[in-house]
Structure 1
Amino acid sequence: MIKPENPLRGDYSQMRPDYTVDQQWERYTPEQHALYRRLFERQISKLPGYAVDEFIAGAQRLSSDGIPRFDDANEILARATGWQIVAVPGLVPDDVFFTHLAHRRFPVTVWLREPAEFDYIVEPDVFHDFFGHVPLLLNPVFADHLQEYGRGGLKAMGLDAVGFLARLYWYTVEFGLILTDKGLRTYGAGILSSGGEIIHCIDSPRPHRVKFDLMRVMQTEYRIDRYQDTYFVIDSYEQLFEETAPDFTPLYEKLKTLPAIDPSHVLPGDTLVSNVNPVDQRRQAA
């Protein structure tokens, strides 16, 4: 949903009206499969202690030798939650993105980054989209939340409020943290597909980790060119689903009267979350 300043990568010449294309898996080269394997092996090794358990299980369940075949993944998704992934040439317009989500379809980019972009890429590629997003579509509650987000996005477009909803997506689906009985973990695709931020978001003393508050999230600006200054922490996917279920119309009207919040700021009403394991916290308290 975040559009780069330069022209979009990807071949849009063969797309259908809904921006979907054929994956054409047979066109990927051995070198591209090898690069995807390197990316996968690098990230999967970083997940323990940083990613939520259900993401790790989902990533392993969907793993393949190289770039995955979307049709194979769709068989697994259909049985688990009724979701499907659809191949797209790259970033798509907001209305197209929301429509796909509202119908339980997640757009996944077909092109893969170049070797020189191994550690950082400006636009989401097939590795970011598939590895970062698809595993949690196997979780029923999170999958339902994402569908409702799509429906809410279509409504927000008619209320001139997509910017507020983009902040919600950024700080949850892309860069969200969750407090588990094992400690802080990440479920955000932007973090889970990153070589460095997956460690930074949990271990670094620099960022603020703030308890999730819907209005606070939708007021807060975000960074697209560096690690985040602030992460928002949910207690469960059920909390995320329930707190984002009500009609946002009155919230949008209020948000339009409020100033944006700098992501580096901590507010007096914020509840900060320690990155110490809950077991260690109990030991310290004793």
Structure 2
Amino acid sequence: MAEHVLDSPPPGAGADWTIPQDWEAFTAEEHDTWNILFERQTALLPGRACEAYLRGLDVLRLSRPGIPDYRELNARLGDATGWQVVAVPGLVPDDVFFDHLANRRFVAGNFIRRPDQLDYLQEPDVFHDVFGHVPMLADPVFADYMEAYGKGGLRSLGFGSLDKLARLYWYTVEFGLVREAGGLRLFGSGIVSSRGESLFALDSDSPNRLGFDLERVMRTRYRIDDYQQVYFVIDSFADLLAATVETDFAPLYERLASLPDLAPDALLDDDEVLTRGTQAHATERAPA
């Protein structure tokens, strides 16, 4: 089990799992790690990340370098869209996570990877959570989508369909692509916070890239231990928001319960295939 996966709020955490950020407690090495990652990704992402993300990066350009101080960050983010970032000790239970999203609070792990973990970390740290997610939360339409997702997540708990809804989050918030500027651009936090996946998601001929379809996405399993075998591409954030708020999820969950799950590399006859991948990377990395 990952170090920061917890079963109950640790000492010092509130009932909602939040803790003081205690910005002053971060070490110089931890701030340096943030700076290295920040400079590397901001040099790589122009021309790759979507305009909404690149605009949103301005909320992270604060008065001093290093891990953002939420007191200053939240003043800027709150002015933009009414969202706030709150510190938590690690991964929180689903109902807690959804409740925070539904109330425009984004939870961020209060730790950062070690210098020898720059390229991969199994669990989300403050760089993934803040650099990956917060710029998109400064976009009004995407901010509304995240709130709607949180409210939908709370409702999903009553249908026993959390695994299906989690796929929507995975393939949009974490690993989504959007059509923009005559091509494809990144917006998923799991991509923009990763140097390797920022390159792989757009340049590799290995993954499938498919047009977004809500039901299709919610049927598709995903892997957490490697680059993705499929990316779903939205037309716009307004379309993504509409697909979320205008869908009655109760009959959708019922229908999904009668349909088989799909492997990450599956292709269906009615898929909008933008890029048919070779799946070479998945084959190369498959266990012996």
TM above 0.5: yes
* Counterpart in the other structure of 1:282: none
1:256 correspondence with 2:257: yes
Tell me which of 21, 24, 27 is aligned to 1:23. 21
| Residue number in structure 2 paired with 1:271 | 272
Counterpart position of 2:186: 186
Query: Partner of 1:77 in structure 2?
Result: 77
Give per-residue Cα distances to partners, 1:150-194, cap 9 Å, x unaligned.
000000001101110000000000000000124100100000101
1:194-205 map, 5 Å: 194-205=194-205
Within 2, Cα distance between the matches of 1:125 and 1:260? 30
The separation in 2 between residues aligned to 1:146 and 1:221, in whole angstroms, is 21
Give unpaired runs (5+ residues) of structure 2.
277-288
1:167 and 1:230 map into 2 onto residues whose CA distance is 12
Alpha-carbon distance in 1 for matches of 2:255, 2:86: 36
Deviates more, 1:117-126 or 1:60-69: 60-69
Letter in 1 for 2:55: A
Between the aligned partners of 1:61 and 1:216, the Cα distance in structure 2 is: 34
Partner residue in 2 for 1:8: 4
| Aligned counterpart, 2:45 | 47
Unpaired runs of 5+ residues, structure 1, are 276-286
In 2, Cα distance between the equivalents of 1:111 and 1:43? 19
Q: Secondary structure of the residue that 2:86 maps to in structure 1? A: strand
Give the SS at the match of 2:13: coil
CA offsets, 1:239-263, max 9 Å, x none?
1000111220000001011110001
Give the deviation of 1:273 after TM superposition: 1.7
Q: Give the counterpart letter for 2:229 in structure 1.
A: D
Alpha-carbon shift at residue 265 of structure 1 (Å): 1.4
C-alpha distance in 1 between matches for 2:2 and 2:107? 21
Give SS of 1:209's match.
strand
SS in 2 for 1:20: coil
| CA distance in 1: counterparts of 2:170 and 2:4, whole angstroms | 20
Per-residue deviation, 1:60:
3.2
Partner SS state of residue 185, structure 1: strand
Distance in 2 separating the partners of 1:52 and 1:176:
11
CA distance in structure 2 between the aligned counterparts of 1:108 and 1:182, rounded to whole angstroms: 33
Matches within 5 A, 1:1-286: 5-8=1-4, 12-64=10-62, 65-245=65-245, 246-274=247-275
The alpha-carbon deviation at position 90 of structure 1 amounts to 1.0
Deviation, 1:71, is: 1.1
For residue 116 of structure 1, report the CA deviation from its aligned partner: 1.3
Question: Structure 2 counterpart of 1:230, which letter?
Answer: V
Identity across the alignment (%): 50
Tell me the distance in 2 between the aligned counterparts of 1:147 and 1:238: 14
TM-score, length of structure 2 as denominator length? 0.91
Q: Tell me the TM-score normalized by structure 1.
A: 0.92
Shift of 1:274: 4.7
Name which of structure 1's ranges 210-219 and 12-21 shifts more when overlaid on structure 2.
12-21
CA distance in structure 1 between the partners assigned to 2:95 and 2:5 by the alignment: 19
Counterpart CA distance in 1 for 2:2 and 2:232 is 29
Task: Return the letter of the residue paired with 1:164.
Answer: K
Amino acid across the alignment from 1:213: D
> What is the alpha-carbon root mean square deviation over aligned residues?
1.4
